Chain A
Amino acid sequence: GAPLLLNCGRRPPTADSATAADKTNPRGKHCLWLCFRVLSSCLEIFVLCPPLTSDSISTVLAAATITMTLTSTVCFPRQEIMKWNGWGYSDSKFLFNKKGQAEFTGKRYRLSGMVLPSLQDWFENTFGASVNHKSPPALNASAVPPASLNEAFVEDLKATGIPFSHEAEDRVFRAHGHCLHEIFALREGKKFERVPDMVVWPNCHNDVVKIVELACKHNVCLIPYGGGTSVTSALECPPEETRCIVSLDTSQMNRILWIDEKNLVAHVEAGIIGQDLERLLNESGYCTGHEPDSMEFSSLGGWVATRASGMKKNVYGNIEDLVIHIKVVTPRGVIEKSCQGPRMSTGPDIHHFILGSEGTLGVVTEVTMKIRPIPEYQKYGSVVFPNFEAGVACLREVAKQRCAPASIRLMDNEQFQFGHALKPQVSSIFTNFVEGLKKFYITKFKGFDPHQLVVATLLFEGDRERVLQHEKQVYDIAATFGGLAAGEDNGQRGYILTFVIAYLRDLGMDYYVVAESFETSVPWDRVLDLCRNVKERINRECKERGVQFQPLTSCRVTQTYDAGACVYFYFAFNYRGLADPVHTYERVEHAAREEILANGGSLSHHHGVGKLRKEWMKESISSLGVGMLQSVKDYVDPDNIFGNRNLL
């Protein structure tokens, strides 16, 4: 059915149809029809689909991937398949059913359609929440400030034929990322102070050149928009911006332009979404191996603009290791290098002005990046340690011996228990029995304290023999730190968690629980101290700010480096009884970030700075450093056309 349904993705409206839509608004009808088509197509595909058995991470995404084949890219008006006030796909969400049991709806993920019997208990015990206390989203869509258009710009843009829209729905959808305060505001139907005045969909590099030229000509503010998964307020429109703000949606620039198998590089348009890129490359037998947790929705351009990091960076590298060539359209023209040499000594690398520029300098339009043949064999694994200290010591040793698998992550006890709460209903008595035995062995026989033990999840990739050899090496190291192998299943479940955890926040918000995550990178010797102090600081701040229930603070070490690690924190609390939970949350996160910095952690490992963490930039990179960046900005974009005011 795939080819048939390819057409059902809505084509971008032409300039004319956009104005027509203004007058008659036929979209409502159109939407319904579209939803129906998408839904029915999904059903069709799932009936035809063989059962999902493969071990690979792509299985987790398999269902999603199939849908994407149908529509070829992220659907043009994204809000039609994605939630407008929450994470991810509209059809996928956690809910407590009538029996009070949690289930995950939809069909896109391994957990989809499953009942999770222990989630309710965990949820109620951890947060002091109750499934009887609902805080459903207010259903009225937020009132949107009227668009203030720059008529001359609109006229010139029309002449180019590049599609655009100034419909409220399109504008609001691109006015935010996924910070807690943004999603909370959407749910509560609160008004955004400032949203883009229009959205424009360039189709290729040249379109972008035209748009940027026009923006300069008419002094219009441009904000590039890729996957919309920012968690640093990077997409928020500066309220003080008086010019017309145009959101430049790169989603239509989603083609792989060529693959060079001799040099193992691919030249790709920067608007492509992670999972599409991976899928399309897979069709040719390749992959990039770049798998940030947001890869279902985030875009290549976004990765470049934020210095993204992928789960499997140990094998493939982070985004800065992967890119060979970048093309950027700035108000001063196009920046690119003249060759694709794998390394150059030509002064400071201009790529590093672009990587992490967060949309302040221009639009990344095309990227040449490394590709690899799809690995022959993949294997998950997991190790339990008696406590977090032992786990960190083991990861440190693995990093020291430079034998880290493609991915190695250490979850603390809270996350381990959380993972357990997400175990689907076990169908056979036998599995139940085996589970019980395992638990008995670990806690009783080995003497692990269930409230102390932690688990490391592993993912090995490569040819079969090497994987098995590698696996043995890692397990041997783990054993010296008291680690016990705990099976492939537990490992895989850990990675599933990664993709569904964002959905869980929406469930929490339905029941007075707010949650957020943040990250840092820190030298090895400070990992333990930083984790302990940040958790303690969060607990203390919550208490001082009147949070009535014990917050959940949890962390995991998600990446290992020679000289340190990346640590990821989850933090959630029950906000019943608080007048302004978002404000409370923000103050606590602020304190947590201060604690991170005081304990030798970095301002960010891969989320970026955006506007959320701007205040610490001077402290982080010195005022001279900020001055250097500022002078680049002043040279490249003297009129602040790219005026999202991130970073500086």
Chain B
Amino acid sequence: RELSSESNIYIYCFNILVFVTLQQRDPMLKRDGFEDILEERRNSSDLKYALRCYAPVLYKGVTPCKANMLKNIVLQSDQLHYVINQVSQESGEAPDIIQEEASVILEEMAHRLQISTVRFFAFALSKAFKTLFQHVCVNEEGIQRLQQAIQEHPVVLLPSHRSYMDFLLMSYILYTYDLALPVIAAGMDFMGMKFVGEMLRMSGAFFIRRSFGGDKLYWAVFSEYVKTMLRNGFAPIEFFLEGTRSRTCKSLTPKLGLLNIVIEPFFKGEVFDVNLVPVSISYERILEESLYARELLGVPKPKESTSGLLKARRILSEDYGSIHVYFGQPVSVRSLAQGKVNRSTYNLFPRHIPRKPMEETQSFVNDTAYRIVRLQEDNMVLKPWVLMASLLLQNLEGLELSVLTEQTVWLRGLALSYAAFLDWPDHAPTAKVVSSSLALHRGLACVSGGRVSLVVGEPLGPVTPEEALFNRAVSVLSCASYRNQVLHVFLRPAMLAVAMLHLSDEVYNCFSFLWDMFSNDFILCPGDIVQDFEEACYLLVKTGAVQMPQQDIVMTDIGQPTLSFFNGLLEPFLQGYQVVCRYLCEEASEGLTEKQYIPAVRSFYSVLCVFTGNLRCYEVLSSDMQKNALAALLRMDAVRKVKVADQVTLIVNKMAVNSIDDILGKNRMISHINQTQISPGLSLVAVAEDLYRDGLTPSYIR
């Protein structure tokens, strides 16, 4: 097919540039090996380990700062004083009272790191980890790099976030290697767990409210607290760029608030540099696996409570495989900002007065955040099961074991040539690898009569079609959370494949449409579209799936399986977005509020399913996909938000949504489902209420 004329330019430079840059990007060559830290724990006393001498090196040899001293520095800072006076003038309250308020906020927020608590956790976690996991693997070279970085400049640890376990695990590892323990930004919701909250606080967590939009004082205390720790290098700061645990195991688009805070001291010249260390934590099996699927389907997240935690004890009896923790190369903010941000623009404004970051800075921070998340993705360790899950999801009716094995081997080759960080057991026969993966994930897939298929939970008693749908969706979403782990490896070539197979003839334009459409669902660095397109071309050419004679992109014969696999990989997303478009065009009423949107889409889909019976895109039931689709439509101006009274209403531009649906929907089966198939007299809400009678709380149906 012809490439669009604008893409010609790229093709000219293509051969020279891309191969060079991608070779550099190729992380295969640079990845470190792993050490299992549990091995030693299995062979020596945990108590001794918990009580051993712990004397980490600190930033330029500072002495660790007592929590109280830290609070005093913050309360006496010019920054805070300025805001206190400002708030006092605005509210008419005396500055003393505001100061007192600030002090209370700080009290609620601040960590109280105590080595004794850390030792307790070191002991308890050793026991727990040994029961839960086969291995906890860490790249020791990364640890060495981190140790070096901690001494040179303030360090910010940025782990991926897939489980509650993440931050305990991080502190556990740093303690094990005698590194300075981080202070960790945690959501306030933990504080609900009375005792545990305090324990976490004493192991280095500090707590921030989930939302404090307009609260100047809160923001000032919070940002000054973080900056003080950073400037003085008392401890590495740790937070999750993704903001929350990813329920889908896809990386979430980064949140910028905290990153802005930790980068600002560099721009203001208060520190020479800040080292950002991406950490990739990969779980072979996630503790919260089915919990997440239910949550995505609208069963609300259980409130964090100590009793809930105790109930979760039963998980202790299961095998969760191994964990891989990869400490990435420290990223110097100074080097990143070189030539992108002119620091002298900070010269004309007093540094203690809070100010909205300039546009230049904002886009730099945004860009940095995306890059870090991509670095996290790059070093995520993938297990064979991830590949198997991807294949199973494209064959929901099940697969012959032998076929699955064969295809898994094929996919392994593809993944490796795309530089996936695959942890494939050495010297084990493939059949063994496949069967042991199936054994570990027996809750998700089973083999019966030589066929492998997804396990669907069977509730007791008679099953309504709606319940069946729900159970089916749980198992698909659980499985999808594994497939999602490999998406970042295949995403770019897969979008190109979809563009080639389904969409109109301007391949680059189609690619860029998909790129834009999916930029909430996947980590696509803003502005990297051309680079991503080049990467996609490079990878597909590399594996022989396409050829690029002159200015064309042509599929090869041997490329057929690859391209159709890629197509299948993205199919659920394309379908899901399409369902949303359909809903908005055909069903959405005037005055649809943002709150009603998710349950309404769910009902719509359920109705469709009930009436047609052969729909397969269960993933559209996931609130994650629904939110991302809406965000994409908002971004593309197909939907607008209007605030009426307290409600946010969605105004749908049906023309625009329809045309997006058209682009997505060519050749797709969902396009010939007609509105007429649903009887007009039937109220959707009634149907929905009927559908979600059991097991689901009705609150979000309204």
B343 touches A599 (CB 8 A): yes
Residue numbers in B under 8 Å from A536 (CB-CB): 272
User: Separation in Å of the A625 CB from the closest CB of chain B?
Assistant: 15
Residue numbers in B under 8 Å from A533 (CB-CB): 269, 272
Which B residue's beta carbon lies closest to that of A619? B344
Q: Is A628 an interface residue (CB 8 A)?
A: no
Residue numbers in A under 8 Å from B343 (CB-CB): 598-599
Q: Is B270 an interface residue (CB 8 A)?
A: yes
Q: Is B410 an interface residue (CB 8 A)?
A: no
B351 touches A599 (CB 8 A): no
B269 touches A598 (CB 8 A): yes
User: Separation in Å of the A9 CB from the closest CB of chain B?
Assistant: 50
Question: In the complex, what distance in Å separates the CA atom of A421 from the CA atom of B342?
Answer: 40
B269 touches A529 (CB 8 A): yes
* Known pairs A532-B272, A537-B272; A525 contacts B344 (CB<8 A): no
Question: In the complex, what distance in Å separates the CA atom of A130 from the CA atom of B270?
Answer: 37
Q: Is A597 an interface residue (CB 8 A)?
A: yes
User: Separation in Å of the B80 CB from the closest CB of chain A?
Assistant: 16
User: Separation in Å of the B670 CB from the closest CB of chain A?
Assistant: 55
Residues facing A in B334-387 (CB within 8 A) are 342-344, 346-347, 350-351
Residue numbers in A under 8 Å from B269 (CB-CB): 526, 529-530, 533, 598-600
Residue numbers in A under 8 Å from B347 (CB-CB): 600
Which B residue's beta carbon lies closest to that of A529? B269
Which B residue's beta carbon lies closest to that of A598? B343
Residue numbers in B under 8 Å from A600 (CB-CB): 269, 344, 346-347
Majority DSSP secondary structure for residues of A touching B: helix
Which A residue's beta carbon lies closest to that of B352? A525
Residues 203-238 of chain A, each 1 if its beta carbon lies under 8 Å from chain B, else 0: 000000000000000000000000000000000000
Residues facing A in B662-680 (CB within 8 A) are none
Residues facing A in B223-279 (CB within 8 A) are 268-270, 272
A525 touches B272 (CB 8 A): no
Which B residue's beta carbon lies closest to that of A532? B272
User: Separation in Å of the A613 CB from the closest CB of chain B?
Assistant: 15
Residue numbers in A under 8 Å from B344 (CB-CB): 597-598, 600, 619
Question: In the complex, what distance in Å separates the CA atom of A600 from the CA atom of B269?
Answer: 9
Question: In the complex, what distance in Å separates the CA atom of A600 from the CA atom of B351?
Answer: 11
Majority DSSP secondary structure for residues of B touching A: loop
- The listed residue (A525, A532, A537, A619) touching B351 by CB distance below 8 A is A525
Question: In the complex, what distance in Å separates the CA atom of A109 from the CA atom of B343?
Answer: 44
Which B residue's beta carbon lies closest to that of A601? B347
Question: In the complex, what distance in Å separates the CA atom of A525 from the CA atom of B353?
Answer: 13
User: Separation in Å of the B374 CB from the closest CB of chain A?
Assistant: 26
User: Separation in Å of the A451 CB from the closest CB of chain B?
Assistant: 11
Question: In the complex, what distance in Å separates the CA atom of A533 from the CA atom of B267?
Answer: 12
Residue numbers in A under 8 Å from B272 (CB-CB): 532-533, 536-537
B270 touches A529 (CB 8 A): yes
Question: In the complex, what distance in Å separates the CA atom of A598 from the CA atom of B344?
Answer: 4
Which B residue's beta carbon lies closest to that of A596? B344
Residue numbers in B under 8 Å from A597 (CB-CB): 344
Residue numbers in B under 8 Å from A532 (CB-CB): 272
Question: In the complex, what distance in Å separates the CA atom of A640 from the CA atom of B346?
Answer: 37
Residues of A in contact, count (CB < 8 Å): 13
Question: In the complex, what distance in Å separates the CA atom of A529 from the CA atom of B346?
Answer: 13
Residue numbers in A under 8 Å from B268 (CB-CB): 529
Residue numbers in A under 8 Å from B350 (CB-CB): 525
Residue numbers in A under 8 Å from B270 (CB-CB): 529
Question: In the complex, what distance in Å separates the CA atom of A600 from the CA atom of B268?
Answer: 9
Question: In the complex, what distance in Å separates the CA atom of A529 from the CA atom of B272?
Answer: 8
Residues 524-542 of chain A, each 1 if its beta carbon lies under 8 Å from chain B, else 0: 0110011011001100000
Taking each of B270, B272, B346, B351, which has the highest tally of chain A beta carbons within 10 Å of its own beta carbon?
B272
User: Separation in Å of the B431 CB from the closest CB of chain A?
Assistant: 52
Which A residue's beta carbon lies closest to that of B337? A598
Residue numbers in B under 8 Å from A619 (CB-CB): 344
Residue numbers in B under 8 Å from A537 (CB-CB): 272
Residues 595-609 of chain A, each 1 if its beta carbon lies under 8 Å from chain B, else 0: 001111000000000
Which A residue's beta carbon lies closest to that of B343? A598
Question: In the complex, what distance in Å separates the CA atom of A526 from the CA atom of B268?
Answer: 9
User: Separation in Å of the A532 CB from the closest CB of chain B?
Assistant: 7
Residues facing A in B77-109 (CB within 8 A) are none
Residues facing B in A497-545 (CB within 8 A) are 525-526, 529-530, 532-533, 536-537
Which B residue's beta carbon lies closest to that of A600? B347
Question: In the complex, what distance in Å separates the CA atom of A404 from the CA atom of B82?
Answer: 29
Residue numbers in B under 8 Å from A529 (CB-CB): 268-270
Question: In the complex, what distance in Å separates the CA atom of A532 from the CA atom of B269?
Answer: 9
Question: In the complex, what distance in Å separates the CA atom of A45 from the CA atom of B376?
Answer: 78
Question: In the complex, what distance in Å separates the CA atom of A193 from the CA atom of B343?
Answer: 37
User: Separation in Å of the B51 CB from the closest CB of chain A?
Assistant: 33
Which B residue's beta carbon lies closest to that of A536? B272
Taking each of B344, B350, B351, which has the highest tally of chain A beta carbons within 10 Å of its own beta carbon?
B344
User: Separation in Å of the A617 CB from the closest CB of chain B?
Assistant: 14
Residues facing B in A572-600 (CB within 8 A) are 597-600
Residues facing A in B265-297 (CB within 8 A) are 268-270, 272
Question: In the complex, what distance in Å separates the CA atom of A597 from the CA atom of B269?
Answer: 11
User: Separation in Å of the B226 CB from the closest CB of chain A?
Assistant: 18
Question: In the complex, what distance in Å separates the CA atom of A598 from the CA atom of B272?
Answer: 11
User: Separation in Å of the B323 CB from the closest CB of chain A?
Assistant: 36
Question: In the complex, what distance in Å separates the CA atom of A619 from the CA atom of B347?
Answer: 12
Question: In the complex, what distance in Å separates the CA atom of A525 from the CA atom of B346?
Answer: 13
Question: In the complex, what distance in Å separates the CA atom of A451 from the CA atom of B346?
Answer: 33
Taking each of A532, A598, A619, which has the highest tally of chain B beta carbons within 10 Å of its own beta carbon?
A598
Question: In the complex, what distance in Å separates the CA atom of A530 from the CA atom of B344?
Answer: 12
Question: In the complex, what distance in Å separates the CA atom of A526 from the CA atom of B342?
Answer: 17
User: Separation in Å of the A523 CB from the closest CB of chain B?
Assistant: 8
Question: In the complex, what distance in Å separates the CA atom of A530 from the CA atom of B351?
Answer: 14
Question: In the complex, what distance in Å separates the CA atom of A492 from the CA atom of B269?
Answer: 34
User: Separation in Å of the A57 CB from the closest CB of chain B?
Assistant: 35
Residue numbers in A under 8 Å from B342 (CB-CB): 598
User: Separation in Å of the B33 CB from the closest CB of chain A?
Assistant: 28
User: Separation in Å of the B667 CB from the closest CB of chain A?
Assistant: 55
Question: In the complex, what distance in Å separates the CA atom of A533 from the CA atom of B344?
Answer: 14
Residues 274-291 of chain A, each 1 if its beta carbon lies under 8 Å from chain B, else 0: 000000000000000000
Question: In the complex, what distance in Å separates the CA atom of A536 from the CA atom of B346?
Answer: 20
User: Separation in Å of the B77 CB from the closest CB of chain A?
Assistant: 13
Residue numbers in A under 8 Å from B346 (CB-CB): 600
Residues facing A in B637-666 (CB within 8 A) are none
Question: In the complex, what distance in Å separates the CA atom of A526 from the CA atom of B351?
Answer: 9
Question: In the complex, what distance in Å separates the CA atom of A529 from the CA atom of B351?
Answer: 12
Residue numbers in B under 8 Å from A526 (CB-CB): 269, 351
Taking each of A525, A529, A537, A597, which has the highest tally of chain B beta carbons within 10 Å of its own beta carbon?
A529
Which A residue's beta carbon lies closest to that of B338? A594
User: Separation in Å of the B102 CB from the closest CB of chain A?
Assistant: 22
Residue numbers in B under 8 Å from A599 (CB-CB): 269, 343
Question: In the complex, what distance in Å separates the CA atom of A122 from the CA atom of B454?
Answer: 75
Question: In the complex, what distance in Å separates the CA atom of A529 from the CA atom of B350?
Answer: 14
Question: In the complex, what distance in Å separates the CA atom of A498 from the CA atom of B119?
Answer: 56
Question: In the complex, what distance in Å separates the CA atom of A529 from the CA atom of B343?
Answer: 13
Residues facing A in B57-73 (CB within 8 A) are none
Question: In the complex, what distance in Å separates the CA atom of A530 from the CA atom of B268?
Answer: 10
Question: In the complex, what distance in Å separates the CA atom of A597 from the CA atom of B344?
Answer: 6
Question: In the complex, what distance in Å separates the CA atom of A598 from the CA atom of B342?
Answer: 7
User: Separation in Å of the A440 CB from the closest CB of chain B?
Assistant: 25
Interface residues of A (CB under 8 A from B): 525-526, 529-530, 532-533, 536-537, 597-600, 619
Interface residues of B (CB under 8 A from A): 268-270, 272, 342-344, 346-347, 350-351
10 contacts between A and B (CB under 8 A): A525-B351, A526-B351, A529-B268, A530-B269, A597-B344, A598-B269, A598-B342, A598-B343, A598-B344, A600-B269
Using A598-B342, A600-B269, A600-B346 as known contacts, list a sample of 11 further A-B pairs with CB atoms less than 8 Å apart, ordered by residue number in A: A525-B350, A526-B269, A526-B351, A529-B269, A529-B270, A532-B272, A597-B344, A598-B269, A598-B344, A599-B269, A619-B344
User: Which 8 pairs from chain A and chain B are nearest by CB?
Assistant: A598-B343, A600-B347, A599-B269, A529-B269, A536-B272, A533-B272, A597-B344, A598-B344
